[in-house]
Amino acid sequence: MKIAIIGCGNIGLKRVQSIIKDKSCKINFIVGRLNPRSESDLIGKKVAKKINCEYTRDRKKVLNSNIDAVILSTHPQCFKKIGGEILKAKKHLLIEKPLGLKKSDAIFLTKLAKKNELILKTGFNLRFDDGIKKAKYLLDSNKLGKIYFMKISYVNGSVKTNKNNIGALLDIGSHSINLFEHFLNTKPKVADIHIQSNEYHKDDNGFMLLKHKNILCSIHFSFVRWENQFFMEISGEKGFITIESLPKWGKQTVTLGKRKYPS
């Protein structure tokens, strides 16, 4: 598979590091910002030289080439415009989350992908975390029986350094929503949501309650929690599963608790 990466900052660089381990894939292009504003905008040029692929700022050249797929890792504000160009050029697309800044953006890209019979994926990478995969295996093995509720807290203190300019809900809250969908194989309803804007002009902290049939899930998303935290709990009639922390922050623990009678 011939691949182009558009936007090679922190996330784009992680994609490069994964792809070069796969001998069935080749990165043909890395596409940089048209008008570089800082040193970080030039990371892609250095990476391209290191892995021996072409670096360019000409998106049209790339989309007119014989590449098969594109990974779009720019700021989310560009997703609809550039994502639309990629799909119209009939290239498969992995787009970082969120798929759209609003519902209509996501619908636009999804319809375009279907029209052109292309694969469109959103980069919810937490699904592939070892602890998440282990918990999903335990859940699918019916270790908990009937599910009663879930709790997910994915928070950090990046209110002053976050550059996505989309707020905590779309930035990290979307991961937690996706995990609820992933574990229960469903599309939940939003039962309630409360958002704060303390230091950030959008949302920097909030709580959401999701519901699927009689299963509830509380989600905490925040940029103003001064220590990184990931915690997830799934509880059911036979016991519970908890996940504490993420590998990128050090040791991660997955616990299966079994209910004893009398409780």
Summarised one tens digit per residue, pLDDT across range 181-229 is 999 999 899 999 999 999 998 899 999 999 999 999 999 999 999 999 9
- The answer to whether the pTM exceeds 0.75 is yes
What is the model's pLDDT at position 45? 87
CATH number, domain with residue 218: 3.30.360.10
**Could you give the CA distance from residue 119 to residue 46 in angstroms, rounded to a whole number?**
29
135 in the same domain as 253: yes
What is the model's pLDDT at position 78? 92
What is the model's pLDDT at position 173? 96
Query: Shortest CA distance to 179 belongs to which of 203, 144, 208?
Result: 208
**Could you give the CA distance from residue 53 to residue 16 in angstroms, rounded to a whole number?**
11
**Could you give the CA distance from residue 235 to residue 213 in angstroms, rounded to a whole number?**
15
User: Is residue 9, in this structure, part of any structural domain at all?
Assistant: yes
Please say which residue of 107, 123, 139 terminates a domain. Answer: 123
Structural domain containing residue 217: 126-258
Instruction: Give the H or E element holding residue 222.
Output: strand 215-222
Mean pLDDT estimate for the chain: 94
Please say which residue of 69, 94, 123 terminates a domain. Answer: 123
What is the model's pLDDT at position 39? 63
**Could you give the CA distance from residue 105 to residue 132 in angstroms, rounded to a whole number?**
28
What is the model's pLDDT at position 156? 96
User: Is residue 7, in this structure, part of any structural domain at all?
Assistant: yes
What is the model's pLDDT at position 127? 93
91 in the same domain as 11: yes
Q: What is the pLDDT along the chain (263 residues), one digit of tens a residue?
A: 999 999 988 888 889 999 999 999 999 999 988 776 666 567 888 899 999 999 999 999 999 999 999 999 998 999 999 999 999 999 999 999 999 999 999 999 999 999 999 999 999 999 999 999 999 999 999 999 999 999 999 999 999 998 888 999 999 999 999 999 999 999 899 999 999 999 998 899 999 999 999 999 999 999 999 999 999 999 999 999 999 999 989 899 999 999 999 87
**Could you give the CA distance from residue 141 to residue 235 in angstroms, rounded to a whole number?**
14
The CB density around residue 89, as the number of other CB atoms within 10 Å, is 18
Secondary structure (DSSP) of the chain: -EEEEE--SHHHHHHHHHHTT-TT-EEEEEE--SS--SGGGGHHHHHHHHHT-EEES-HHHHHTSS--EEEE-S-GGGHHHHHHHHHHTT-EEEEESPS-SSHHHHHHHHHHHHHTT--EEEE-GGGGSHHHHHHHHHHHTTSS-SEEEEEEEEE---TTT--S-SHHIIIIIHHHHHHHHHHHTS--EEEEEEEE-SSSSS-SEEEEEEEETTEEEEEEEES--SS-EEEEEEEETTEEEEEES-GGGS--EEEEEE--S--
CA of residue 169 relative to chain centroid, distance: 12
> Which bin fits 260, alpha (ψ -120 to 50), beta or left (φ > 0)?
beta
Q: How far apart are the first and last CA of the chain?
A: 54
CATH number, domain with residue 102: 3.40.50.720
What is the model's pLDDT at position 104? 96
114 in the same domain as 92: yes
What is the model's pLDDT at position 38? 65
Q: Residue 169 in 3-state DSSP?
A: helix
